[in-house]
Structure 1
Amino acid sequence: MRMSEGVEWALHSCLNLTWVEPGEARTAARLAAFYDLPAAYLNKQLQALARAGIVTSTPGPRGGFRLARPPERITVLDVVTAIEGPGDAFRCSGLLRNGPEGRDDVDYARSCHVSQTMRRAELAWRRELAGQTLADLRDDVERSHPGTPARTREWFARQRP
């Protein structure tokens, strides 16, 4: 399975938003500049996050993006789904139907062992992502790199609005 780079960009941007002072927002351009990303493309990811209720967007000179709810209530799966969509990663096409013993009256998505294996794997993957929140990620980063929150806030403070 291959996810778009937008997932990585969105997760890192959300993580940076966990360190923004309450009531403050960051523009797409400033969030993009942090990692030297194309602002227009990151803005599309941020708009997808806004549609999913993960971030809010405020217009105006002090506007920008901020988390829409506490990081403890935003899972990694929420972010992945906002960017990639809710569809299954594996889609059984019923390939067995085309084989020598294939039948039109069989639901191969349910009976095929390949399909069952892939679905179990996807469920395990989704459970893992649903069990990790932005707060968990933030806490992991802060444990392994304690200066990151302060350095992130300082970087944003040095940038022009």
Structure 2
Amino acid sequence: MRMSEGVEWALHSCINLAWLEPGEAMPAAKLAGFFSLPAAYLNKQLQALARAGILTSTSGPRGGFRLARASEDITMLDVVTAIEGAEQAFRCEEILRRIPGDHEGVDYRKTCAISQSMWRAEMAWRRELAGQTIADLKRTVEKREPATPGNVRNRFANLRT
């Protein structure tokens, strides 16, 4: 399974927003400038996060994006789903129906070993993503690189929009 780079951008943006002061918003242009990303493309990802209730957006001179809920309440799966959609990665096309024989009433998504294995793998992947929050990622970064939150805030302060 291949996800778009928008997932990575969205996750990094959520972590960076988690380091802002409570109530502080960050314009999309500054978030994009932080990583030298195209502002229009990142804004598309940020809008998807806002539609999913992960971010809120405020207009005006002090406007921008901020987390809509606590970082402990935003999972990696929430972000992936907001950007990529909720569809299953594997879709059983029931190709076994093409084999001659009586297939009336058979749901191959439930009886096909391949379909079942793919579903179990996807569920394990989703459980792993659902079990990790933005707060977990934030703590990991802070443990590995304690200066990162301050560095992020300083870099935002020095970026021009």
Structure 1 and Structure 2 fold alike (TM over 0.5): yes
Contact 1:97 1:104 in 2 (8 A): no
Does residue 51 of the first structure (1) align with residue 47 of the second (2)? no
Taking the aligned partners of 1:116 and 1:143, their CA distance within structure 2 comes to 39
Paired residue for 1:92?
Answer: 92
Count of equivalent residues: 161
Per-residue deviation, 1:99 = 2.7
Taking the aligned partners of 1:157 and 1:23, their CA distance within structure 2 comes to 16
The one-letter amino acid paired with 1:112 is C
Structure 2 residues not aligned, in runs of 5+: none
Structure 1 residues not aligned, in runs of 5+: none
Once superposed, what is the RMSD of the aligned Cα atoms?
1.1
Does residue 78 of the first structure (1) align with residue 58 of the second (2)? no
Q: How does 1:4-153 map to 2 (within 5 A)?
A: 4-101=4-101, 103-153=103-153
- Where relative contact order (Cα < 8 A, 6+ residues apart) is larger, the structure is 2
**Mean alpha-carbon deviation: is it higher for 101-110 or for 13-22?**
101-110
**Mean alpha-carbon deviation: is it higher for 102-111 or for 26-35?**
102-111
Contact 2:34 2:159 in 1 (8 A): no
TM-score by length of 2: 0.96
Which 4+ residue blocks in structure 1 deviate beyond 2 angstroms?
A: 99-105
Per-residue deviation, 1:102 = 6.9
Paired residue for 1:156?
Answer: 156
Taking the aligned partners of 1:23 and 1:159, their CA distance within structure 2 comes to 19
**Percent pairwise identity:** 68
